[in-house]
Amino acid sequence: MKKGILFIIMLVIAGIIIVHIASNPADEVRDNYSLNKVKIKVAGDYNFAPYEFIDKNGNYTGFNVDIMKAIEDTMDIEIEIIPMKWEEAINALINKEIDAIQGMSKTEDRSNRFAFTQPTVINYHAIITLKDNDYINTIDDLEGKRISYQKGDVQEERIKKFPNVFLVPKSDQIEGIKALLEGEADAFIGNRITALYFLNDSRNSDKVKILDEPLGETAYGPVTLSKDSVAYSLLNEGITRIKKSREYEDIYKRWFGDRLLFSNLILKRFTDYAVAIAVVIVLLMIIFYIWNTKLKEEVSNRTKELEIAYGELKSQQDRIYALAYYDSSTGLPNRINFSETLNKSIENLGEGEKLAVLYLDFDKFKYIK
């Protein structure tokens, strides 16, 4: 009886241990390496902003990089992150030179080759053309056109199936978008967020348009070669933990948020232009005000000068007239004045009118002072 009870107790304990290990495989792996911290090698695309890219200061940064750092902290492990070209990263994983790739879009074909952890984001893919392009509006319009894309991209196989298209493969998404902007391609097909991030950063978002016809969505996250690997267990458990905390949410908002919505990018660009135009208008108004003020002052000064000149001219004219028609000694009208006045009076006589002239003779009048 006692042996039976003891046996049952041992079975219960064993069951609890098995359940605990099954539900926390990463903890078991980490505990087994507690004396020496676990180290895994993870590769990522070197130019896939905002997910993973080398910034202007030479630092490897982005959403995926921050996710790896968060997992490193929460799982108490060491993660060596190695930036590579995308095709090189895939080959390195296949050749077991690395333990994982920190971000890959999930497809049926890839799921047969790689082990995907739970996703970190959902990726959206798009067809992008120049804004003044009016001959590509749907997928069917791509026939006979030049299409740029990233080698090894999740959309590559689909692009190759388009009828009569001219392929313009590039080493990364950014080069693919540049091919569109520089006229090397008629359309770019790739990651919507990466395209918008680059176009916004390079101030080219107003030069392109995104077709309304979507290319679908894919789950995106870390991958390893096998679900039985140490790297898979650690990364998958790490994502679970940071999603339960606010850390994942903070990282997501830091790199995505609302600022990568195409409408917001256009609105921002429109706002930038509006502000610039407003500044120019204000400057022109200030310049016009200053110029108008100076013009008024100049007109006022010229008016005063003309008034003074006119006054001097009028005074001069009055003096000349006085000298011509008045005696300078007495101030009385002289003979010229009298003669002209008399003649005008005679000329103005009407019919039947008479004119009388009073003549006074003063002796020595010219000597009167």
The pLDDT of residue 262 is 36
What's 41-260's CATH class? alpha beta
Neighbours of 151 (CB within 10 A): 15
Are the C-beta atoms of residues 326 and 333 closer than 8 Å to each other? yes
The pLDDT of residue 40 is 97
The domain segmentation of the chain, as residue ranges, is: 1-36, 41-260, 267-369
pTM to 2 decimals?
0.58
Token pair 């067809």 in the structure block, residue: 127
The pLDDT of residue 321 is 62
Token pair in block for residue 26: 């990463």
Are the C-beta atoms of residues 215 and 142 closer than 8 Å to each other? no
For the chain (369 residues), the mean pLDDT of every run of 10, in chain order, is: 56 55 48 67 95 95 97 96 95 97 94 96 93 93 95 91 94 95 96 91 92 87 94 96 93 77 43 67 82 81 75 68 63 69 74 72 56
The pLDDT of residue 114 is 97
- Give the span between the Cα atoms of 360 and 338, in whole angstroms: 13
The pLDDT of residue 300 is 79
The pLDDT of residue 304 is 76
What 3-state class would DSSP assign to 100? strand
Token pair 């107790």 in the structure block, residue: 9
Cα–Cα distance list, 41 to 36, 89, 224, 261 (Å): 16, 11, 11, 33
The pLDDT of residue 359 is 65
What 3-state class would DSSP assign to 84? strand
Provide DSSP, 110-123: HHHHSEE-S-SEEE
The pLDDT of residue 4 is 56
Provide DSSP, 186-249: SEEEEEHHHHHHHHHHTT-GGGEEE-SS---EEEEEEEES-TTSHHHHHHHHHHHHHHHSSHHH
